[in-house]
Structure 1
């Protein structure tokens, strides 16, 4: 099955407020917002899938973006790049408005085994 899911995980220095703020930021990214409003993209929080080798530090939730519909595979690369760009912009903004370094964030495709 083709990828249609992108997982955004804060790996260090994050709290639940950071997760909520990044999710809201991604929801306002214009291209993602258009897809979401059209029912072609879902953005939600899910319990974090921690790597067993990673430390338990960080937020307990990940942000999951799921492309919906037959055209999802064609859109995947575009959405993946938009998510990475949105995460970079959010980190720059957070650095400008809050003290300290923003959390490190991983953006990765995920096989949707459902």
Structure 2
């Protein structure tokens, strides 16, 4: 896979913000979160991940897994067989991201109603 698919997600921010913006960008899309959630209980085959994540295409799953592998969040193991067996699992770095992501998830659940209400109020005000 070509290296040009890996974008510098923080090229437009000051140097002191780059690490944070770059890391947060990894989790800003829904697919990385779904993949991590599905790998939380152990290794999964590509086909199992594809089946478990509604709406993801093979291409998007491949890109997501490659990006996560490149960042050291996911490990890929190929077992030579016909067809080849490919398993993915969270690395220690990937597992360490679960606690802050879970905290953010819980925060979002707790505040989603209030955020929706604030959005409606704001939108009604500007209408």
The structure having more radius of gyration, on CA atoms, is 2
Q: Same fold by TM-score, threshold 0.5 exceeded?
A: no
TM-score where L is the length of structure 2: 0.28
TM-score where L is the length of structure 1: 0.30
The structure that is helix-richer by fraction is: 2
